Amino acid sequence: MILSAGYGTRLWPLTEDRTKPAIPILGKPLVGYVAEYLASFGVDEIVVNLHHRPESVRSALGDGTQFGVRLQYVEEPVILGTSGALDNAREYLENDTFIVINGKIITDINLTAALENHRRLNALATLVLLSNAKYERFSIVETRDGCVTTFGGMPVPGGDCPPFMFTGIQILDPRIFEYIPRGGFSHSVTDVYLPAISKGEIVAAHVAEGKWRELSTLQRYLDISVEMLAEQNLSFSAGKGLQLAPSAHVSASVLWNNVQIDEGAYIERAVLADNVHILAGETICDAVVVPGRLVEGTVPPEKAQKGFFKGESFVVPLSG
């Protein structure tokens, strides 16, 4: 199951007209990377939960054929939380071991090794963890003897051993439904895992290695896109319908569909969303730009970064 129901408020305004997993990363929707990742380990039947802008995910994934999978969609009229979402889709999940993965990551972590560990321990659940060597702001997962014991706050740099963080990948036994409340909102950590651990259930901690990228903020989206461009020796990525004037400069940037950049414009480390028009001589650096009409009259989400209207555009500056 791919979790795709969230609002993606920290990615606003890119999520004003689509949900986070439907955002394109170098021409492919983020959720497409997740589907391909699962398919590479032989997972070909996938459930996707939807809530905010559900049509954007349906459009991005279709029936799953292009990514090598078969899809079922389950809509949530109201947000049900990370375990409430599983309850809402239990008819597809309750008969066999299943994998749950966030729809906002790009990774090459070995899923087979995690599944083998899960089966060896006969675990109720297995959380795939990574060492948080950079002490990024991901909640601490505390472990002992290969099992999760509890969940902590944000890490504080320093100390001899970096903390573990959750990757958003988990393997679950159907018995998990004995712990998930029926018919409403519930959260995996507080409502399922902690009560299960307190009753002696094994919630395994599989510490993995590999590439893992999580795209939950505008800055992370830009930084990771630029990293991926460099890996492919590309200066920028562009969707369909690009109109790029010969004298314009574009580097280390992501251009979505139907972007127009006029003569003498300078674009560096920027995200230009669908239908953005950059006027002649304009400079856009370290910023996200969407058409002003897309967000005009809307109230930005509480966690959204501040932006401003500039001509026909709405610009959100980033730190660079």
pLDDT tens digits for range 63-121: 889 888 999 999 999 999 999 999 999 999 999 999 999 998 999 999 999 999 999 99
The closest of 294, 289, 264 to 277, measured between CA atoms, is: 289
pLDDT for residue 320 = 60
Q: What is the Cβ-side half-sphere exposure of residue 316, based on CA atoms within 13 angstroms?
A: 21
What is the value of pTM for the model shown? 0.91
Tell me the pLDDT of the chain averaged across its residues: 94
Q: Verify that 154 and 84 share a domain, yes or no.
A: yes
Tokens of 249: 């400069």
Are 171 and 236 in a shared domain? no
Q: Is the same domain home to 187 and 256?
A: no
Same domain, 97 and 184: yes
Question: Both 274 and 151 in a single domain?
Answer: no
Distance of CA 6 to the CA centre of its chain: 10
**Among 167, 186, 214, where does a domain finish?**
214
The answer on 101 and 77 residing in a single domain is: yes
Domains contained in the chain, number: 2
pLDDT tens, residue by residue, 21-80: 889 999 889 889 999 999 999 998 999 999 988 998 898 888 889 888 999 999 999 999
Tally of CB atoms within 10 A around 97:
15
Q: CA-to-CA distance for 142 and 160, rounded, in angstroms?
A: 15
Q: Which helix (H) or strand (E) holds 169?
A: strand 164-172
* Distance (Å, whole) CA 308 – CA 38: 39
Is the pLDDT reported for residue 160 higher than 80? Answer: no
Do both 270 and 303 map to the same domain? yes
Domain boundary among 214, 234, 266: 214
Segment 133-147 mean pLDDT: 94
Do residues 188 and 243 share a domain? no
Do 46 and 178 sit in the same domain of this protein?
yes
Domain that holds residue 231: 218-317
CATH number of the domain that residue 153 is part of: 3.90.550.10
Q: Which of 85, 72, 97 is nearest to 180 (CA)?
A: 85
CA neighbor of 81 nearest in space, from 150, 7, 165: 7
Contacts of 121 (CB under 8 A, 6+ apart): 146, 147, 202, 204
159, 184, 214 - which closes a domain: 214
pLDDT band at 284 (very low <50, low <70, confident <90, very high): very high
State pLDDT tens for residues 229-249: 999 999 999 999 999 999 999
192, 296: one domain: no
Tallying the residues shown for the chain, one arrives at: 320
Residue 149 shares a structural domain with residue 164: yes
Same domain? For 231 and 306 the reply is: yes
